[in-house]
Chain A
């Protein structure tokens, strides 16, 4: 039986032309590759539709900022490695220290570079690359001050009018509704941000962790007796 099979294969090996011997494995591997790419594409589309897209095909949620600003050292409470390799204690600063308008306005606000300079004209060594960039932008080093082109991480579509202020107000008054908080702190504006933004204090490079799609908004609004009228957000 086995001998017959081997004989058959030998016969095939003799009679099959060379180009076909090359083509068959190429087609096999190639079609597997096509299936893999299509599968990755489908996975990306389906997950992007349902929530956060999984980072196949090179798309991920992190954004490279012009200056490597570490939220960990500023907002975190642990011990972190800074840009020069030193171990530094996290400051545990409140989110609202820099994002000042979050409790009163629609936008959380990113501080001007002069705001960074208040501390960093003194704090931090001269050999640190990000701090040199900050000081250059603030005009402490050289004489060409310029604003920093921070990249937006959490972007709402244009037809959504999101206002931070009432959300912070509600969650501050209802600490039991706060989720995602890993530090266990649920009081004050900084404690409630995690509900939508995740534990930013532990992120070296801030990424969007919640899908922040309309389904998530509506579910939360329903659970908290918030308005679900379309015109509350779309106008």
Chain B
């Protein structure tokens, strides 16, 4: 599946949930499906600290594709982390850098990606892109 297809799938899951609580139940559920980050990476080096919550993210580059792992200490942010990983993991750096991640807005969770929210998610997306950029640079050098 392409990034756009994965985004569309998530949007369709949320589409019929009109009640906010149902949406958040699904987000929490998404978080629970996330295997999380390998404990060896749950360190300050991989920590993105928001004012309200924490996010850890790590990435590896295999066969031209970026594989992410990550988690949060809050369930709502954790659900968002899980969805971002689902969408971007296993894709090429070029595709990741081109992704607009419109699904977050479409499922009504844009506020969580607001810089003023200070929950670490904006920095996480930036960090995920940064990993892709670095892997791309490195592969170009080879």
Judge: A and B partners, yes or no: no
Report B's interface with A, CB cutoff 8 A. Answer: none
Report A's interface with B, CB cutoff 8 A. Answer: none
